[in-house]
Amino acid sequence: MMGTHSDTKTDLRRELRARRRRIRGRAARKAAETAAHRVTRLPPWRRARHVALYLATDGEIDTTPLLHAAWRAGKRVYLPVIQSSQRLVFRRYGPTTPLVTGRYGIRMPARPDAPVCPVAALDVLIMPLVGFDAAGHRLGRGGGFYDRTLAGRGRGRRPLRVGLAHAGQQHPAIPHDPWDERLDRVVTDHTIHLC
């Protein structure tokens, strides 16, 4: 009996999460530093004034080196916050901004009145992922928050969408649905994929 598309995604998430969780310690730190260096070499990143990042959890590639590089370069940094609408807003995050742990263990700015950057005003959006393929299909955690937030932004101004991952998170063909938003680039500790 053939499994459903949803079952396939669930199984693939399990496999790829286990794979990335095996990268720890020195290897994880080196991967994060190398990936951050690659991101900072992207021309859109160099020109960017407003960038959105995430704070890593569950074996995701650590964004701390990239975060510090953004601050050193004078960029305004924003973190995702899940709203009741099941969409994300991106709140300003600075070196002294207190954090709280929200839904799904995601760390976010503690102040609900922290400035928000509209998606259309972001220059670069660094997105977490569980898996990716060469065509820019992204397998996230399964909540659809980034997809809902980015839906319908294909025509107007939109940020460069960059997935950040360990090289081992690549899969030959990520199962995807019509509403799944694709990435423009995927940066890993080994290379930059143009999608």
Are 13 and 131 a contacting pair, CB within 8 Å?
yes
What phi and psi values does residue 194 have, to the nearest 5 degrees? -90, 120
Distance between CA atoms of residues 187 and 166, nearest Å: 8
Any idea which residue has 């660094």 for tokens?
126
Tokens linked to 50 = 């407003």
Is 9 a known ligand-binding residue?
Answer: yes
Structure-token pair, residue 145: 């928050």
Answer yes or no: is 60 a known binding residue.
yes
> Is 141 annotated for ligand binding?
yes
If DSSP codes are grouped into helix, strand and coil, which group holds residue 15? helix
13 is in an annotated binding site: yes
Distance, CA of 186 to CA of 189 (rounded, Å): 10
Residues annotated within the binding site are: 9-13, 55, 60, 138-146
Residues annotated within the binding site for ATP are: 9-13, 138-146
Residues annotated within the binding site for substrate are: 55, 60
